[in-house]
């Protein structure tokens, strides 16, 4: 096998990342979820492109919407349930979904099948973006020390291993 050179990239050479910025009890709900940060690996900064593998029972994220970021997902393999205000819809390989910035239709993928599913997730990067979670007692707040997770009554969750909202 000859190795690809940038700008080309073989996802097999990109690390699988399992981190998650949510505090408990939300973090565990994501289940078996790993991401290859393809856009970062190619040196992109204006948007992110992740190749996500979601095992049976896994979730893409808490159901959420973004204030300033458009998001797009394209299913490559397996079967996923998209939950949004339109209800539940089953997506298989070759189907996609798009979520525009500021549209108050919270969404996530759940893998209710018995096999892993794979998809690409794309989101532009904007300073000041926030993610909101209508189903869960979680919000992101910011003080002089940075971003932190809090309950909706303002009480902080214990510090997490990452401040990244998703």
Site residues (CB under 8 A) for a copy of itself?
A: 4-11, 38-39, 41-47, 49, 69-70, 72, 74, 76, 82, 84, 86, 89, 91, 94-101, 103, 105, 107, 120, 122, 124, 126
Nearer to a copy of itself, 41 or 150 (CB): 41
In angstroms, give the least distance from the CB of 135 to a copy of itself.
16
Please say which residue, 20 or 121, places its beta carbon nearer to a copy of itself.
Answer: 121
Least distance in angstroms from the C-beta of 3 to a copy of itself: 10
Ramachandran region, residue 87 (left: φ > 0; alpha: ψ -120 to 50; beta: rest): left
Residue 104 to residues 70, 73, 100, 118, 128, Cα–Cα distance (Å): 12, 17, 9, 26, 17
C-alpha to C-alpha distance for 86 and 83, rounded to whole angstroms: 8
């Amino acid at each position: 096998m000859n190795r690809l050179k940038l700008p080309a990239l073989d996802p097999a050479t990109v690390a699988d990342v399992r981190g998650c910025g949510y505090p408990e009890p939300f973090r565990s709900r994501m289940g078996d979820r790993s991401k290859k940060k393809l856009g970062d690996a190619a040196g992109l900064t204006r948007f992110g492109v992740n190749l996500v593998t979601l095992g049976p029972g896994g979730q893409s994220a808490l159901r959420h919407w973004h204030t300033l970021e458009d998001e797009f997902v394209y299913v490559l393999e397996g079967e996923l349930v998209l939950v949004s205000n339109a209800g539940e819809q089953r997506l298989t390989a070759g189907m996609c979904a798009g979520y525009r910035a500021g549209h108050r239709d919270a969404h996530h993928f759940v893998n209710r099948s018995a096999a892993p599913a794979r998809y690409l997730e794309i989101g532009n990067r904007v300073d000041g973006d926030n993610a909101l979670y209508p189903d869960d007692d979680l919000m992101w707040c910011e003080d002089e020390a940075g971003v932190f997770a809090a309950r909706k009554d303002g009480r902080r969750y214990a510090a997490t291993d990452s401040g990244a909202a998703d």
